């Protein structure tokens, strides 16, 4: 067991030995939207996060948890919880002025709240070319060269604003049914963006979904990985997804994300690769399961997953 870290993970990524910090997120309780009757109520989510043994938590979709900083700090503090990151959704390859304005409005409100409650990171999820609920195609599956350049510029600007205005780090999250999903697309994105402004929230499940190797990404681009979502996919379900070109919406309903250690990739291997880098990371358990058929389902899974992850590697721990 290592000593208690004296700094936050983002400030400790300088070669200082420190543990991997395992947390969780509303997604693991079936939460995708600010409000939805199919979702676990926010107060139950926070209570069960504590019951499952976690100390770190993401804010999830803006508006799910209280957005008043004083109240949110009170709710978190009374449960001994700390915030790892907020989340924003972007579409920087698009040029519609109204959509851009809406994205930036969201960025500022989420960043302000995240900074106010002690978070260090913003997880950035790109727009999907197929609707995440209906699966309907809303645009072309592939970006043009011009759209790629617009995407790069938008994320460089976002990283600069987050750092200079809020003291936060941008953690880009590749995603199923988005334009940055496959290994080739992730590589193109990394090589087209500024490493000082754009690093990865490496989601092991979504990377595997797109055919990318998380372990290879960590080995090849160690300086571009600063934050992780740990999850696995069911190899049998993903085979059907690829064969039948299922949408992300359909894949999720079919149970493509599975409780560790039943799926891929091997999370023990991922943790081994992280520990070789000798710096700290937030490793957030985020198992997509919207909608849950019962509010009683998430807690046992979250508890077992935490226990499993804490048994991997030599330095993984929960505060």
pLDDT by 10-residue block (mean), the chain, 319 residues: 35 53 96 95 98 97 98 98 97 96 98 98 96 89 97 98 98 97 98 98 98 98 98 97 93 92 96 91 91 95 94 65
Q: Which two tokens stand for residue 21?
A: 């910090």
Residue pair 195/223 in contact by the 8 Å Cβ criterion: yes
Rounded Cα distance, 67 and 83, in Å: 13
pLDDT at 12: 37
What pTM was computed for the model?
Answer: 0.92
**E strand residue ranges, 56-205:** 56-58, 82-90, 121-126, 169-172, 199-203
**CA angle at 37 for the pair 35 and 39, rounded to the nearest 5°:** 75
- Of 246, 248, 245, 261, residue with least CA distance to 290: 248
In order of 5, 9, 89, 255, the CA distances from 150 in angstroms are 39, 31, 16, 34
| The pairing of beta strand 282-285 with beta strand 225-230 | parallel
Element (H, E) at 229: strand 225-230
């Amino acid at each position: 067991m290592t000593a208690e870290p004296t700094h936050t993970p983002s400030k400790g990524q300088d070669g200082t030995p420190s543990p991997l910090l395992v947390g969780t997120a509303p997604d693991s309780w079936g939460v995708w939207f600010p409000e939805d009757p199919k979702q676990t109520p926010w107060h139950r989510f926070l209570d069960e996060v504590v019951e499952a043994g976690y100390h770190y938590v993401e804010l999830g979709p803006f508006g799910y948890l209280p957005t008043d900083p004083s109240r949110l700090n009170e709710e978190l503090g009374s449960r001994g919880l700390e915030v790892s990151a907020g989340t924003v959704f972007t579409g920087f390859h698009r040029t519609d002025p109204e959509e851009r304005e809406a994205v930036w409005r969201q960025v500022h409100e989420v960043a302000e709240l995240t900074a106010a409650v002690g978070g260090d990171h913003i997880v950035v999820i790109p727009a999907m070319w197929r609707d995440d609920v209906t699966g309907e195609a809303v645009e072309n599956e592939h970006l043009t060269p011009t759209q790629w350049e617009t995407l790069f510029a938008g994320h460089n600007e976002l990283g600069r604003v987050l750092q200079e205005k809020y003291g936060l780090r941008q953690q880009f999250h590749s995603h199923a049914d988005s334009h940055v999903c496959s290994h080739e697309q992730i590589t193109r994105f990394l090589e087209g963006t500024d490493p000082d402004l754009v690093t990865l929230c490496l989601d092991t499940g979504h990377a595997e979904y797109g055919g990318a190797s998380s372990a290879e990404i960590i080995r090849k681009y160690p300086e571009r990985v600063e934050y992780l979502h740990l999850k696995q996919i069911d190899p049998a379900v993903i085979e059907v997804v690829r064969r039948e070109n299922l949408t992300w919406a359909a894949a999720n309903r079919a149970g493509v994300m599975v409780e560790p250690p039943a799926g891929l990739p091997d999370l023990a291997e991922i943790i081994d690769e992280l520990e070789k880098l000798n710096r700290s990371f937030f490793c957030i358990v985020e198992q997509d399961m919207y909608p849950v058929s019962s509010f009683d389902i998430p807690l046992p899974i979250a508890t077992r997953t935490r226990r499993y992850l804490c048994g991997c590697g030599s330095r993984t721990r929960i505060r």
